[in-house]
Structure 1
Amino acid sequence: MSLRIFNTLTRAVSEFTPAEPGHVRMYVCGMTVYDLCHLGHARSMIAFDVVQRWLKASGLKVTYVRNITDIDDKIIKRALENGETIRNLTDRMIDALHQDADALGIERPQHEPRATDFVPQMLSMIGTLEQKGLAYRAGNGDVNYAVRKFPGYGKLSGKSLDELNAGERVAVNTDAGGKHDPLDFVLWKSAKPTEPADCKWDSAFGSGRPGWHIECSAMACELLGQTFDIHGGGADLQFPHHENEIAQSEGASGQPFARTWMHNGFINVDNEKMSKSLGNFFTIRDVLKSFDAETVRFFVVRSHYRSPLNYSDVHLNDAKGALKRLYTALQAVPPADVTIDWADPMAARFKAAMDEDFGTPDAVAVLFELASEVNRSQSAERSGLLKALGGLLGLLQTDPTTYLQSGAGLDDAAIQAQIQARADAKKAKNFAEADRIRNELLAQGIVLKDSATGTTWEAAQ
């Protein structure tokens, strides 16, 4: 079975074939770095980390670009509030982003362009759009995109211009020298006297800075070419950001922009989208204070990337317990080093799930069936296959005992001393004392497990 992907542009699942045989070019919209990343950002990063891992596992070369927006109204506002330079703020937030992403096992993209390094390319694209009559200089100094002059506008969102116009709340004020049409959007923002010097660039359009949408168009085309294979991002970016990217990029080049569009679903809290603007967000660091990073990754991966994902401690605890069952199988039967044989029935089912629009829920279900098989057969080879398949999702690569004992309030030496004291009590037939020791450890978050080979322990859920 060949890889099939749901393409937002065509609204259908279809066979995926890269334009260049054997080489996938993928661009994913990254973060605007004015604050710490929240769990919604984690979901997008994990979703496309899994995508690029599976593409590579399928024998494809992947050129993966995930941008950083390091100039923006929110960034300027936060830097002024903090009394620091824009560069200092964005450098700190990028470092924090990398720390959070690394903790979650997210592989670094091949390219991570900062918008401020690509302003010349943005200005060049704006100039081309102006020459083609798709951009105009407004009386207030901005340069705007003339949406109605691009025939394909609305094809990604599936809305007509009239529908979009009916929902547009931006007032047109031609007297103030602004937009000619409420649907038009800014390509170049004229500098304001009150703004700091480090957010202004000189240009043929006057001093100013790029609009948000033009950043991604310029960086994607510069690093991947005018047409590339996959463009990804959160569902909230489908309109207007990605719609505007298409208008800019295709308007400038005359060529198709991205061949396949992928959008991951929201993380919800109380049925509302998690976002900084709504104030209902949890930073990655907040969540990692209560749950280990692999549990968070597993919580995200076991849902399909396009589905909404409901956040709660209950769901995270359930994910933690489920992941521990997989690790328990690996601990009981140490895995052999194996090369995945895709003809193996379990591996074949895993592959079929992933080849159908990166179907991680079905792929995870295969992992649990394989864990049950490991427990029955006690086969190191089957345990090795479990670990290898888990690795394709960025899971199950920690030493099982280390994982199962992580988060314990006592160190191993103290626990082993208690285990020995309990064994001595049982040998002396002092079962009340043995039970007391077990219960005392349980109260401290330590679960003892007796077997024919002795007693082991793990941290309670």
Structure 2
Amino acid sequence: MISTNPLMIYSTLSRRKEVFKPVHEGRVGMYVCGVTVYDYCHIGHGRTFVAFDVIRRWLEARGYQVTFVRNVTDVDDKIIRRAAERGISTLELTREFTAAMQQDMASLGCLPPTYEPHATDFIPQMLNLIRTLQDKGLAYVGSDGDVDFAVRRFPGYGKLSGKSLDDLQAGARIGIGQGKRDPLDFVLWKKAKPGEPHWTSPWGEGRPGWHIECSAMSCHYLGKTFDIHGGGPDLIFPHHENEIAQSEGANGVRFANYWMHSGPLRVRAADGTEQKMSKSLHNFWTIRDALSETDGKFGAGNGAEVLRFFLLRTHYRSPISFNTGLIVDAHKALTRLYEALDGAKGDGLPLDWEEKHAAAFARAMDDDFNTPVAIAQLFDLATEVNRSKDPALVRQLKGLGGVLNILQRDPAAFLKGAVKGLDEEEINRLIKERSDCKKSRNFARADEIRAQCLAQGIVLLDTPQGTTWRRS
């Protein structure tokens, strides 16, 4: 058994850690809001999805059967505008960026979702939900033809975000041409505009509002009440607040039992302040650009693991400051772990969860998925492996890394990393020349070759099996 500890999860709704009790014994229903596919994903998206990937992996490691749903928003004002700018259909645009998003998540080591529903495939379910809300007096047709949700008719609105109706009222206004009865109300169904994608509904041609899609899709796959609903911090209000109002208003039962949100990823602005990374602020770094940059620094294929490791070194609820110095530091730390595994024996053995480091790792993960504390156990193990080369400890180090989906590459390949100025063929030629020089007792030239390699970031390692190399 992995752990007899209670699994504690911090819920945004209760603002405290709670003992996890699934709706159905042995099974977990988990819904994480995906992206609006009009552009490439940035590192802030990666932070959220890596966090929930690890949460899912730990739940599965604990023996739960996890149904993981991550939606794709493929109809939206931004999508319509971007498609028009590029002179292509919204379908062509969303197919392109959905495929890109899936590639980016796979690059960062995230498992594919159990289900990945697209909003436009669930229009009938959304219409049924809106009709139910209208029948219950929670929705109405505004003067502009949109169908809006009547916020004041839903008791408890604001319980997730902690916002009161008075606070919301103070900052709200109705724009010119809007047909809402109250500035706090939000749209469920938008009346079609010329040239926009649209569907037939009881209220005329139109398209869904943003919030209604997640209520419909989560209910379809996970039921009216499910275990975990997650997403980025910017979704707490209004998106998740509105999901609760719609879902509980229509179904009359609790929507999700645990609300989980990742912390923001921040970048330094020109004025020295830190800002949330977002497309609206034009301060984002796409996952693709980040992978290209890190692969260039640390070696082809290494960059993705370095980025994942960087994200996991901070607790999922805490803010992360993103800068290249911290990425370099993450690479150095990950290198220490791979150095401990390099040449060591221990593959193919099962994890021993009663071993002290594994037990401490499990306690950390059971405490609201505390990856920084769990990772500390990996470094303790690496120290012991370096000292003893005990195959049982090697097994523990690689196996616990595997729970987080790190340390699964060939150590020698990782440690070779990026080669600046020398390709692998040239390095191997120099290694052979150096070997020949040592055999002919030309030690001066042999030392010269070692120094030449070191000057270009290549460390030569003499072992009983021969000379290998890695990036310094």
TM-score (norm 2): 0.93
Partner residue in 2 for 1:101: 105
| Residue 269, structure 1, aligned to residue 270, structure 2 | no
| 1:449-460 aligned within 5 A | 449-451=461-463, 454-460=466-472
The alpha carbon displacement at 1:317 in A equals 0.6
Amino acid aligned to 2:408: Q
The alpha carbon displacement at 1:183 in A equals 1.1
Partner residue in 2 for 1:423: 435
- Number of aligned residues: 454
Partner residue in 2 for 1:346: 357
| Residue 289, structure 1, aligned to residue 292, structure 2 | yes
CA distance in 2, matches of 1:327, 1:21: 38
Any idea what the Cα deviations from partners look like across 1:112-157, whole Å, max 9, x if unmatched?
0000000110111011111111111001110111101100100001
Partner residue in 2 for 1:215: 213
| Residue 68, structure 1, aligned to residue 69, structure 2 | no
| Residue 134, structure 1, aligned to residue 138, structure 2 | yes
2:379 to 368, 378, 385: 368
| 1:10-89 aligned within 5 A | 10-89=14-93
Whether the 8 Å CA contact 1:268–1:311 is kept in 2: the answer is yes
1:318 to 329, 340, 353: 329
Amino acid aligned to 1:131: D
Amino acid aligned to 2:433: A
1:231 to 212, 225, 229: 229
Whether the 8 Å CA contact 2:29–2:228 is kept in 1: the answer is yes
SS in 2 for 1:289: helix
What fraction of aligned residue pairs are identical, expressed as a percent?
A: 56
The alpha carbon displacement at 1:404 in A equals 1.5
Any idea what the Cα deviations from partners look like across 1:382-425, whole Å, max 9, x if unmatched?
11111111010011111111222233254434212212223344
Partner residue in 1 for 2:399: 388
Partner residue in 2 for 1:91: 95
Partner residue in 2 for 1:440: 452
1:401 to 385, 396, 412: 412
| Residue 305, structure 1, aligned to residue 319, structure 2 | no
2:203 to 187, 202, 205: 205
| 1:121-200 aligned within 5 A | 121-168=125-172, 170-171=173-174, 176=177, 178-193=179-194, 195-196=195-196, 199-200=197-198
Whether the 8 Å CA contact 2:381–2:397 is kept in 1: the answer is yes
Partner residue in 2 for 1:4: 8
2:345 to 322, 328, 334: 334
Whether the 8 Å CA contact 2:30–2:66 is kept in 1: the answer is yes
CA distance in 1, matches of 2:334, 2:215: 40
Whether the 8 Å CA contact 1:172–1:181 is kept in 2: the answer is no
Whether the 8 Å CA contact 2:41–2:287 is kept in 1: the answer is yes
CA distance in 1, matches of 2:243, 2:178: 24
Partner residue in 2 for 1:359: 370
Whether the 8 Å CA contact 2:70–2:116 is kept in 1: the answer is yes
SS in 1 for 2:342: helix
CA distance in 1, matches of 2:451, 2:352: 45
| Residue 412, structure 1, aligned to residue 424, structure 2 | yes
SS in 2 for 1:118: helix
Whether the 8 Å CA contact 1:337–1:381 is kept in 2: the answer is no
The alpha carbon displacement at 1:429 in A equals 5.4
Across the aligned residues of Structure 1 and Structure 2, the Cα RMSD in angstroms comes to 1.5
CA distance in 2, matches of 1:211, 1:8: 24
CA distance in 2, matches of 1:324, 1:335: 19
CA distance in 1, matches of 2:57, 2:416: 28
Any idea what the Cα deviations from partners look like across 1:23-56, whole Å, max 9, x if unmatched?
0000000010000000011111100000110000
The alpha carbon displacement at 1:99 in A equals 1.1
Whether the 8 Å CA contact 2:351–2:395 is kept in 1: the answer is no
Amino acid aligned to 2:150: A
- The answer for unaligned runs of 5 or more in structure 1 is none
